[in-house]
Amino acid sequence: MPPVVIALDGPSGSGKSSTARGVASRLGLAYLDTGAMYRAMTWAVLERGVDVEDADAVAAAAAEVVIESGTDPQAPTITADGVDVAGPIREQAVTDAVSQVSRVPAVRERLVALQRLTIAEHADGIVLEGRDIGTVVAPDAPLKLYLVADTAARAARRAAEQGQDEAAHVEATAASLQRRDAIDSSRTTSPLAKADDAVELDTTHLTLDEVVDEVVRLAVKAVPDLGGPAS
Ligand SMILES: Nc1ncnc2c1ncn2[C@@H]1O[C@H](COP(=O)(O)OP(=O)(O)OP(=O)(O)O)[C@@H](O)[C@H]1O
Ligand SMILES: Nc1ccn([C@H]2C[C@H](O)[C@@H](COP(=O)(O)O)O2)c(=O)n1
């Protein structure tokens, strides 16, 4: 049996992590936040004092870094070189540099290999979210979703999460999301893209619970075995 993978892709702040965690919890599946892996790699590269514009230096540094992800959707974890980096990877310095680091093919090769290993370890079911899950990491996934939401909604949600809903902050957040989307969509190696067979879901006017309900419904339809007692 091929591994049961639910692939969730989409632009920054479209609700991938929250949705993926909710779906994995509801269906009793593992969960992998691949964006956290790219952020952890970026944190480690910055810690080494590497210029993220220098792709060769990034590739050399990245070869040494050990990234480990915990896949419990209720308590996901992420470490780089044994350090718990769950907090630091959300800081602005990492957010500003992560798209540059993610463009480097050697970084992607390493992390995609790790992601596929994690899929193999959870063949009975895992929800992965990122930018290239449906197109590159798990092209045979039985269910692929591409989440989108208006930039204004994404920025407002992110700003609210940070407890900073003043107009200037929301505007700066929108600019940061758009800047990352532009770099992530235009890179040569596995850019942010909707897989041809992915279902696009616009979450702008949906609550998180409504989105999770819809993805669970689609998952059970695509993989009827998922509709067992855990859901
Ligand atoms: N449908 C929704 N309605 C309202 N708020 C939502 C919805 N989906 C997600 N959110 C909120 O929006 C914020 C961003 O969501 P989340 O972190 O899941 O997005 P993401 O796509 O994983 O972002 P990133 O790409 O930056 O990691 C969170 O505060 C989350 O609670
Ligand atoms: N599969 C992935 C996941 C993430 N990235 C890059 C691009 C994002 O800007 C960055 C951070 O991801 P986030 O935490 O915002 O989901 O990581 C990627 O290239 N491929």
Which residues have CB under 8 Å from 11's CB, separation 6+? 148, 154, 177, 181, 184, 185, 192
* Cβ contacts of 221 within 8 Å, gap of 6 or more: none
- Average pLDDT of the residues in 46-56: 97
**Residues 55, 57: Cα–Cα separation, whole Å:** 5
Closest protein CA for atom 10 of ligand 1: 15
The pLDDT of 202-215, averaged and rounded, is 97
Element (H, E) at 77: strand 77-80
Query: What value of ipTM does the predicted structure carry?
Result: 0.97
- Is 102 assigned to a binding site? no
- The residue among 188 and 57 whose pLDDT is bigger is 57
Averaged pLDDT for residues 24-35: 97
Residue 228 has pLDDT above 80, yes or no: no
One-letter amino acid at 175 equals: A
> What's the CA gap between 34 and 16, in Å, rounded?
11
185 marked as binding residue: no
Structure tokens at 141: 């996934």
According to the annotation, is 35 in a ligand binding site?
A: no
pTM: 0.96
Which ligand is closest to the CA of 158, given by its number?
Answer: 1
pLDDT band at 231 (very low <50, low <70, confident <90, very high): very low
Compute the distance from residue 10 Cα to the ligand 1 centre, in Å.
11
Q: How many residues does the chain have?
A: 231
Please report which helix (H) or strand (E) contains residue 127, including its range: strand 126-130
Return the minimum-mean-pLDDT range out of 32-36, 48-52, 166-170. Answer: 166-170
**How many angstroms is it from 203 CA to the middle of ligand 1?**
10
Name the residue among 2, 30, 6, 3 with its Cα closest to residue 129: 6
Residue 165: pLDDT over 90: no
Instruction: Pick the closest to residue 73 from 221, 216, 217, 205 (CA basis).
Output: 216
Q: Residue 143 and residue 218: Cα distance in Å, rounded?
A: 8
User: To the nearest whole number, what is the mean pLDDT of the chain?
Assistant: 95
Flag whether pLDDT at 212 surpasses 80.
yes
Q: Is the pLDDT of residue 44 over 50?
A: yes
5-220 maps to CATH 3.40.50.300:
yes
SS (H, E, C) 5-62: EEEEECCCCCCHHHHHHHHHHHHCCEEEEHHHHHHHHHHHHHHCCCCCCCHHHHHHHH
Position 182 confidence tier, pLDDT thresholds 50, 70, 90? very high
Task: For 78-132, write each residue's pLDDT tens digit.
Answer: 999 999 999 999 999 999 999 999 999 999 999 999 999 999 999 889 999 999 9
Residue 141 has pLDDT above 70, yes or no: yes
- Mean pLDDT confidence for 194-198: 97
Q: Which run of H or E residues covers position 113?
A: helix 105-121
CA dihedral of residues 29, 33, 37, 43 (deg, nearest 10): -130
Domain ranges (residues) in the chain: 5-220
Residue of minimum CA distance from atom 2 in ligand 1? 208
Mean pLDDT of 131-156: 97
Task: Say how many Å lie between the CA of residue 48 and the centre of ligand 2.
Answer: 20
pLDDT over 70 (residue 229): no
The residues facing 84 across adjacent strands are 79
Strands 83-84 and 77-80: antiparallel
